Structure 1
Amino acid sequence: MDAFIQKFCEKYSLPIALSLQLLDNMEKFTFRKGDFLVQEGGRNSNFYIVSKGIWRGHYLNDGVDVSVWFASEGEAIFSSWGYVENTASLVSIEAMCDSELYGISKAKLEVLYAESVELANFGRRLFEQQLLGLESWMITGGSPRAKERYLTLLEENPELLQYVPLKHIASYLWITPQSLSRIRAELGRRKKDQ
């Protein structure tokens, strides 16, 4: 079994057989670094699972590029506005490296939900996870906790440093790239002293 399926099942508490059923109804897509799933102001109501690569959700705030989330192997990605309301997205979803996704239209996914209580419950758990992630990002934002957020991000997604420019990681942490450099230097000194 592919590693991304295992991660997907663990993250969303989905039995492997059910995840394979879902994947059987999805189409595989390949993207290059810098490709967009949707750009701010565009529409995309499809649902995707990352099988390979790193993705970033971001928006422009007075010309400043702000990272909202990162997603990697085994995680679901979609435009909330496109999926829920079929309206224009307020974030751009961009590939940070060459990537592969499995995708399904909202209409086809809704049919699967109607046919399976287990898949419908997966859909509910998915949105619960999205809500928790968003609240966590909002609550822990800001400089006083930036070091802890950085360490948590590295623990949960160590591959980010290979593919995501530090300026995007800094914006996700709500700090400047210079502040992130100071945090990294401090952590490097501590590691050296141990």
Structure 2
Amino acid sequence: MNPLIQQLKKYGTMSSEVEHDLYSKITRIVKQKNDFFLKKGQINSSLFVIEKGLVRGFFLRNDKEINSWFGKEDELIGSILPFYAKKTSFENIQFLEDTVLYSITTENLAEIYMRYPEFNAVGRKIAEFLCEFLEERIISLQTENAEDRYRSLITKNPDIFRRINLGHIASYLGVTQETLSRIRSRF
């Protein structure tokens, strides 16, 4: 089954007509390590799921890359501002591994919502999930120290250190690589 349809089904039921229509609008994309899905200033309003591979979201501050999130297999991914508000992206989305993904544009998804109003419940559930994810990240950044954020990261993503370099992880946690090494030595 198409990985994107499989993920969408986690947010609600869909008729065979909706599934068939979605299938015709989803694109399979193959990207190489270090390729970009989105760069700051672009509008790429797509929702996607990775079948195999890994991405990171990051932005630049004072010419320094700041990692804001990582995405891996079987997760719905997209840049919020372009997807929901049709605004240019503040972030970059870059592939950390050779990646196979399945993508649908906002326009195609909106067409499905118009044609099948019952499918809007799935879209609402996705938006709720994204709000929850973002609020948890904000709370983490504002209330937890680096060690707590590290503990949370390895609890939720135990294989992350095999797949993502320490520089990217340190940036995500908001610490230097040296501080990350000290934190890791305590665990």
Task: Give the TM-score of the pair, scaled to structure 1.
Answer: 0.82
CA contact under 8 A between 1:59 and 1:65: conserved in structure 2?
Answer: yes
Q: Secondary structure at the match of 1:170?
A: helix
Q: Does 1:39 pair with 2:39?
A: yes
* 1:126 aligned partner, one-letter code: I
Q: CA deviation at 1:110?
A: 0.5
Q: Secondary structure at the match of 2:51?
A: strand
The CA RMSD measured in Å over matched residues stands at 2.6
Q: Which residue of 2 aligns with 1:156?
A: 156
Q: Secondary structure at the match of 2:145?
A: helix
> Mean alpha-carbon deviation: is it higher for 57-66 or for 160-169?
160-169
**Greater relative contact order: 1 or 2 (C-alpha under 8 angstroms, separation 6 or more)?**
2
* 1:162 aligned partner, one-letter code: R
Q: Does 1:14 pair with 2:12?
A: yes
Aligned length: 185
Give 1:1-194 correspondences, 5 Å limit.
8=7, 12-15=10-13, 21=20, 22-141=22-141, 144-187=144-187
> Mean alpha-carbon deviation: is it higher for 150-159 or for 67-76?
150-159
Alpha-carbon distance change, 43 to 13 in structure 1, aligned in 2, over 3 angstroms:
closer
Q: CA deviation at 1:74?
A: 1.2
* 1:154 aligned partner, one-letter code: I
Q: Secondary structure at the match of 1:113?
A: helix
> Unaligned 5+ residue runs, structure 2?
none
State the alpha-carbon separation in 2 of the partners of residues 38 and 3 from structure 1.
Answer: 21
Q: Secondary structure at the match of 1:141?
A: helix
Alpha-carbon distance change, 117 to 154 in structure 1, aligned in 2, over 3 angstroms:
farther
State the alpha-carbon separation in 2 of the partners of residues 124 and 161 from structure 1.
Answer: 33
Q: CA deviation at 1:5?
A: 6.7
Q: CA deviation at 1:157?
A: 2.2
Q: Secondary structure at the match of 2:70?
A: strand
Q: CA deviation at 1:67?
A: 1.0
Q: CA deviation at 1:73?
A: 1.0
State the alpha-carbon separation in 1 of the partners of residues 135 and 146 from structure 2.
Answer: 16
CA contact under 8 A between 2:37 and 2:94: conserved in structure 1?
Answer: yes
Q: CA deviation at 1:114?
A: 1.9
Task: Give the TM-score of the pair, scaled to structure 2.
Answer: 0.85
> Unaligned 5+ residue runs, structure 1?
188-194
Q: Secondary structure at the match of 1:102?
A: strand
State the alpha-carbon separation in 2 of the partners of residues 127 and 136 from structure 1.
Answer: 14
CA contact under 8 A between 1:142 and 1:173: conserved in structure 2?
Answer: no
Alpha-carbon distance change, 162 to 47 in structure 1, aligned in 2, over 3 angstroms:
same
Q: Secondary structure at the match of 1:28?
A: strand
Q: Percent identity?
A: 30
CA contact under 8 A between 1:30 and 1:100: conserved in structure 2?
Answer: yes
State the alpha-carbon separation in 2 of the partners of residues 96 and 181 from structure 1.
Answer: 21
Q: Which residue of 2 aligns with 1:192?
A: none
Deviation sequence 1:90-123 (CA, Å, 0-9, x none) = 0000111011111112111101112334431121
Q: CA deviation at 1:186?
A: 0.9
Q: CA deviation at 1:142?
A: 6.1
